[in-house]
Amino acid sequence: MDTQGEIVSQSPYQGPGITDVVVIDDEESICEGCRQTLETGGYRSEIARDGIQGLKLVEQSHPRVVLVDLKMQGMNGMEVLTKLSEFDPSIVSIVITGYGSIDSAVETMKIGASDFLTKPFTPEKLLESVNRGMELSQSAREKRVTEGTAQPLRVPEKAPLNKQNVLLNGLEVLGQYYSLGLKERQFFSELKYLESEAEHHAERLGRVEEKEKTVLDIVHDLRLVDNIIQGYGYKKNVLIQILMDIQAELNWLPSHTLKWVSMRLNIPYANIYSIVNFYNVFNLEPRGDHIIEICMGTACHVRGAAGLMERVSSLLGVQPGETDSEMLFTLKSVRCMGCCALAPVMKIDEQYNSNPKVSDLKKRFDNYMGKEESS
């Protein structure tokens, strides 16, 4: 993994339970409208009806973007903006204004607002502005790290994945987030999550341990998941496609990615697990570098697919559905690839072979093994 040993803080991600946006407005209809629109855009939002309450909320949940109404009872928008920039300059604030005059807009920009929305605004307009704000906040956080405002931590050189190391690394990563403004409550929920992950990996995935998967890789995986989910616009009904995309990238579905999907899309983990279990495509175990598929369609069966499976299985010393100890080959049976003319057909890494001879297979497998050893 090339991310190892790099500065951790360059891959900050959003932890679970973090509020993305806080909306501060004294008009209930505006608040509710914003909340719904933001939800469809995949953002978690919280609502405050006046400035004081709003700032409290910001302090508690540390959002990335804050929407502020300029004209409110009690503490007005200008004051809120000033306090906000004092509290954390990386929070991006967007002003909602009913006046829409250039003057007040310029004034708010001076004290740190990055954008303003004129009432009435469309849901599209709102999302556009918030999307931009999220990006801004991201780069602001990264900037803080590179400028040294937040002290970057280094994770030790490659460390094998056992519970202790995962926790150790996890603590460092979390320390990083802590320095970036994560609050104590979230810190502990993150920690708890990583702890369960560490246990899970150390116990269940002995093989991964050999490959020296570190907690950084896990963080990397989670970011990947986030990107994929974002690409589909946080829609729940594309869950299967999301899972397929994750698998296409990682070659299998590690449990931490599934849990992450569950959190991000707000779908119960049990539902996700049942889907992954139901469809043949998904793998809950890591797969080898070479995927060997043997078609078990009827045409292939009639022409001796079972024998072919026996041969390959005994050559590799691997049962169908399993991966060898070197993580080189995964043997799979597939129900009809639709190439019945080639029956019995076997696919090695996307390449179709019609009834391959054992002598050819031996050469080929030896070749793969030799190559892997020399590299």
Partner 1 sequence: MIKLNSPHDLEILRESIVSKRDPNRTCVTVCSGTGCLAYGSHDIFREFRLEIEKQRLGEEVDLRRTGCHGFCGRGPLIVIFPEKICYLGAQKEDVADIVSKTIVDKELVDRLLYKDFETGEQITRIDDIPFYKYQKRILLDNNALIDPEKIDDYIAIGGYSAIAKVLFEWNRDDLIKEIKEANLRGRGGGGFPMGVKWETTRNVPVDPKYVIVNADEGDPGAYMDRSLLEGNPHCVLEGLIIGAYAVGSQEGFIYVRDEYPLALENTKIAIETAREYGLLGENILGSGFDFEITIHRGAGAFVSGESSALMNAVEGRVGEPRPKYIHTSVKGLWDRPTCLNNVETWANVPFIVNKGADWFKSIGTENSKGTKIFSLVGKINNTGLVEVPMGTTLREIVYHIGGGIPNAKKFKAVQTGGPSGGVLPEDMLDIPVDFDALTEAGSMMGSGGMIVMDENTCMVDTARYYIEFLAHESCGKCIPCREGLRQMLRILNSITRGVGKEGDIELLEELGEMMQEASLCALGKTAPNPVLSTIRHFRDEYEAHINEARCPAGVCKELIIYHINPEDCLRCGLCEKNCPTNAISKDEDEVYVINQESCIKCGSCMSVCPEKANAIVVENAFRPPFANDLPKTDVAATTIYST
* Site residues (vs partner 1, CB under 8 A): 236-241, 243-244, 271, 274-275, 278-282, 296-299, 301-304, 307-308, 310-312, 314-315, 334-343, 345, 352-355, 357-359
Polymer length in residues for the chain: 375
Closest CB 218 distance from partner 1, rounded Å: 24
Measured from the CB atom, the residue of 163 and 364 that comes closer to partner 1 is 364
E strand or H helix that includes residue 114? strand 113-118
Measured from the CB atom, the residue of 196 and 241 that comes closer to partner 1 is 241
d(CA 48, CA 22): 7
Measured from the CB atom, the residue of 4 and 355 that comes closer to partner 1 is 355
Which residues on adjacent β-strands are paired with residue 236? none
- CA nearest to 24, candidates 96, 83, 82, 86: 96
Closest CB 273 distance from partner 1, rounded Å: 10
d(CA 168, CA 212): 15
Measured from the CB atom, the residue of 81 and 309 that comes closer to partner 1 is 309
350 CB-near residues (< 8 Å, 6+ apart): none
Residues 275-296, buried b or exposed e (16+ Cβ, 10 A)? ebeeeeebbeebbbebbbbbbb
Measured from the CB atom, the residue of 111 and 334 that comes closer to partner 1 is 334
Report the relative pairing of strands 345-348 and 351-354 from DSSP bridges. antiparallel
d(CA 69, CA 39): 19
Taking the chain, what is the end-to-end CA distance rounded to the nearest angstrom? Answer: 16
Closest CB 99 distance from partner 1, rounded Å: 37
Greatest CA span in the chain, whole angstroms?
85
Closest CB 282 distance from partner 1, rounded Å: 7
220 CB-near residues (< 8 Å, 6+ apart): 1, 3, 11
Closest CB 237 distance from partner 1, rounded Å: 4
The pair of structure tokens assigned to 40 is: 């469809």
Closest CB 321 distance from partner 1, rounded Å: 11
Closest CB 219 distance from partner 1, rounded Å: 26
Closest CB 297 distance from partner 1, rounded Å: 4
Measured from the CB atom, the residue of 81 and 243 that comes closer to partner 1 is 243
Measured from the CB atom, the residue of 22 and 228 that comes closer to partner 1 is 228
Helix/strand/coil percent split, the chain, to 5: 55, 15, 35
Radius of gyration of the chain (CA): 26
Closest CB 300 distance from partner 1, rounded Å: 8
Measured from the CB atom, the residue of 126 and 337 that comes closer to partner 1 is 337
Cα angle 138-139-144, degrees, rounded to a multiple of 5: 100
d(CA 121, CA 317): 65
Measured from the CB atom, the residue of 153 and 339 that comes closer to partner 1 is 339
